[in-house]
Amino acid sequence: MINLLRAHNGGVSLALNVQPRASKNRFMGLHGEAVKLAVTAAPTDGKANKAVIAFLASFFKISKSAITIKNGRQSRKKRILLAGITLDEAKKRLADVL
């Protein structure tokens, strides 16, 4: 879990592998050195990215504005910045679903 989550200025960065057009929004386990996240939205017009942000905001109980896509805006592989959450909090929340 070392590479999936990293402490970052005032928050955490998370490695994701996103699967758009899924049957429901959910974590699907690990995919290499990333967490696989399925979202129902299509990858057009930024809809899948918006769905990723909304899902993560709800899951980590932080605001949508506290989430930034650092790398991979147009790719399945993304690095997400989560502000206002500690590395330990993120690990505890993810441990329940991975």
Q: What are 50-96's pLDDT values in tens digits?
A: 999 999 999 999 999 999 999 999 999 999 999 999 999 999 999 98
Residue 14 has pLDDT above 90, yes or no: yes
Check: CB of residue 49 under 8 Å from CB of residue 69: yes
The SS3 assignment for 83 reads: strand
- ∠ CA 57-94-42, nearest 5°, is 50
pLDDT surpassing 60 at residue 1: no
Domain spans of the chain, in order of start: 5-95
- Given the candidates 3.40.50.170, 3.30.1200.10, 3.40.50.2000, 3.10.180.10, the CATH classification of the domain at 5-95 is 3.30.1200.10
Whether 27 has a pLDDT exceeding 80, the answer reads: yes
Q: DSSP for 45-72, please give it.
A: TTHHHHHHHHHHHHHHT--GGGEEEEE-
